[in-house]
Structure 1
């Protein structure tokens, strides 16, 4: 199976800078020809792929993430990742030990949220398999992933989608090391910098989340991104 990789980053209009820095960190740490796209609900509605009514989800990509393999439109691998991630290593290495018999790979968190609220004063909720869906490596060739059609995404309940009920055998859900979805504020800071840092409760782009673990790394990445934009404009 080819190791072609397409990445769809959840886009929220309130967090444009988070998407930009996530994308920049992905590109800066790889020499591979990866494809990265913002997953914008407005665009998906305009083209008729997302038809659900308005909901009270904390982000605009709460359910559109499950369109990732359909949008990937190839039999390799696709990744969905929340925009509030920072990558510190080559994302292609996540494919090093994948089993083609698995439908998806995720970090299988098992925790109770430490905070009652998260970014921008949004209420924190707790449910089975919470945050499993914030970083999903989809095996697009797998029959149960191919069955995750726009019709399923548009008609099934949020719980059905986020709890991976569309996969009928838990053995088909592969487990990634915690380093690929390290939850800032939920886990103790490890000795080594994680491969993918997830500012799940809020990151430095929010005024009230300036002093989080690894906030300095995100700020440095943002500064590099903004410097690259200025350089492009003066070139």
Structure 2
């Protein structure tokens, strides 16, 4: 494993504060040196790594997430997650259960979305393995992961990518506990706070989405982030 865990967070220009708070929560809890990169579609286009036509995807990182192992460019473990995540524990803990025989690890959600419309008036779709790809622990040394080249990502269908059809053997898809990608609003609140809260339907950064579960935790993290920015400017 590399000395520094690389984490790529999907960046959407409409939700920059979500990315900033996600990053802050990752750094605040990390027990080791981690490298966090925003996955920006415009930058990937400028580099010639993402060439698909513009589409109506819910987020700007809908498909660019599958470039994560290529961008990481090493044989260790790498994480991708959506920007609407809040970490309440040390992300390094997820590596404790990582078996190098697996190609990836995900939380294997099996649910039907409760809401027909998402936070920003986007239609909420339902499909097999929905939200599996919102948190992926990639084993970059695995040949199936190495096959996620820009050529493949730019040409295969969204369904092929999001449903992990590029991994023909389901046994190679490791399973993480639900608490590593807890879908707020889709599951009942557990007694213990999840390791990773995913505001998949919308979060408190939207004015009409203030009363979601764990909104107080996200707002508290945002306050810490903004305080750190103020301190840097003052310094």
TM-score (ref. length: structure 2): 0.99
Deviates more, 1:111-120 or 1:3-12: 3-12
Question: What is the 5 A alignment of 1:175-190?
Answer: 175-190=175-190
Give 1:150's aligned residue.
150
Give 1:231's aligned residue.
231
Rounded Cα–Cα distance in structure 1 between residues aligned with 2:46 and 2:181? 31
SS of alignment partner, residue 16 of structure 2: helix
Give 2:46's aligned residue.
46
Answer whether contact 2:31 2:92 (CA < 8 A) is retained.
no
Give 2:121's aligned residue.
121
After TM superposition, where is structure 1 displaced by more than 3 Å over at least 4 residues in a row?
1-4
Answer whether contact 2:119 2:206 (CA < 8 A) is retained.
yes
Give 1:10's aligned residue.
10
- Deviation for aligned residue 1:37: 0.2
- Deviation for aligned residue 1:4: 3.9
Rounded Cα–Cα distance in structure 1 between residues aligned with 2:11 and 2:119? 15
SS of alignment partner, residue 45 of structure 2: helix
Rounded Cα–Cα distance in structure 1 between residues aligned with 2:158 and 2:204? 28
Answer whether contact 1:3 1:76 (CA < 8 A) is retained.
no
- Deviation for aligned residue 1:24: 0.2
- Deviation for aligned residue 1:183: 0.2
Question: What is the 5 A alignment of 1:1-40?
Answer: 1-2=1-2, 4-40=4-40
Answer whether contact 1:3 1:77 (CA < 8 A) is retained.
no
Rounded Cα–Cα distance in structure 2 between residues aligned with 1:111 and 1:155? 28
Question: What is the 5 A alignment of 1:53-202?
Answer: 53-202=53-202
Rounded Cα–Cα distance in structure 2 between residues aligned with 1:92 and 1:189? 24
- Deviation for aligned residue 1:3: 6.1
SS of alignment partner, residue 120 of structure 2: helix
Rounded Cα–Cα distance in structure 1 between residues aligned with 2:191 and 2:2? 34
Answer whether contact 2:7 2:34 (CA < 8 A) is retained.
yes
For each residue in 1:146-168, what CA deviation from the matched residue of structure 2 results, as whole angstroms up to 9, or x when unmatched? 01111000000000000000001
Rounded Cα–Cα distance in structure 1 between residues aligned with 2:97 and 2:175? 11
TM-score (ref. length: structure 1): 0.99
User: What runs of 5+ residues in structure 1 fail to find an aligned partner?
Assistant: none
Answer whether contact 1:21 1:86 (CA < 8 A) is retained.
yes
Rounded Cα–Cα distance in structure 2 between residues aligned with 1:210 and 1:159? 32
- Deviation for aligned residue 1:29: 0.2
Rounded Cα–Cα distance in structure 2 between residues aligned with 1:118 and 1:137? 26
Rounded Cα–Cα distance in structure 1 between residues aligned with 2:98 and 2:229? 35
- Deviation for aligned residue 1:31: 2.7
Rounded Cα–Cα distance in structure 1 between residues aligned with 2:98 and 2:153? 25
SS of alignment partner, residue 80 of structure 1: strand
